[in-house]
Amino acid sequence: MSIIDFAKPAILKISPAGDIMPLDAKGHAAIRYPDFGVEFAVGAGLLARNIKFDTAVKKCRDLQHAGDDGWILAPDLRLHLLTVDYSRSGPAADPDLFPDAVSEWHWTAHGCEWAGKDEDGTPRAFWQVYGSSGHVLYGDRGRYYGVVRPCRLVPRPGQ
């Protein structure tokens, strides 16, 4: 069993066509964390403006990027924390990996169970990750705004 280094996870750069690129290449459209089975969009144009949660979900669902669809909000806030570089601030992201990073609240699809649920079973609040520092806070789905760093779940090595 190998140990995954959360501080320095393995990464792959993904081209606009969906192919793996050299790590020193520029112009990538996604960053893949193969050990975690997740890929985050880069340059998808969803970081420019703050939107409410339901709009964020729709924008991800409609996105065609890096040669594929299937984009979602990070289903667990801990996955979104992979995009945070805690040695930086304003934004707290590696500019080589995430050149489009912004210092705004980022939506995740990780519901806050304590906030209760609507009649359809959807949580009333979701966790957000602050792009400036990596702090985590909740955002009320109907009142708060945030930006979107879409992700896709991808097979882990050996799956």
Highest mean pLDDT, choosing among 5-14, 42-51, 117-126: 117-126
- The number of distinct structural domains making up the chain is 1
Mean pLDDT rounded to a whole number for the chain: 92
Report the candidate in 85, 81, 111 with the shortest Cα–Cα distance to residue 97. 85
Q: What is the distance between the alpha carbons of residues 36 and 25, in angstroms, rounded to a whole number?
A: 22
Predicted local confidence at residue 123, as pLDDT: 95
When pLDDT is averaged across residues 40-52 and rounded to a whole number, the result is: 90
Q: Cα-flanking dihedrals φ and ψ of residue 129, to 5°?
A: -115, 130
In a domain, 37, yes or no: yes
Domain boundaries, position 71: 12-153
Tokens of 30: 């996604």
Q: What is the distance between the alpha carbons of residues 112 and 109, in angstroms, rounded to a whole number?
A: 9
Q: 40 burial class (0-12, 13-18, 19+ CB within 10 angstroms)?
A: buried
